[in-house]
Amino acid sequence: MSLVYRYNFDTFVERLSTMKGIDYVHLAIEHRWGQRAIRFYDLDWHIIEIGETMSSVCRRP
């Protein structure tokens, strides 16, 4: 399933970092193709991945 978060990735990561009790698979990383992503566990220990859209990656300088 794919959902689009309407804010920029940095804003999302910043807001997520203020929440208590988040168990991370890993903090924000940049893949070799330039897309940044962060992974964490939900309450049932499923992995949630949030990443930049490729259109936003292409617009970065």
User: With bands split at pLDDT 50, 70 and 90, how would you rate the model's confidence at 61?
Assistant: confident
Structure tokens at 41: 């566990």
pLDDT value for 27:
96
CB 52 within 8 A of CB 37: yes
User: With bands split at pLDDT 50, 70 and 90, how would you rate the model's confidence at 3?
Assistant: low
CB 35 within 8 A of CB 49: no
Burial code (b: 16+ CB inside 10 Å, e: under 16) for 31-44 equals eeeebbebebeeee
pLDDT tens readout for residues 4-53: 556 688 888 998 999 999 999 999 999 999 999 999 999 999 999 999 88
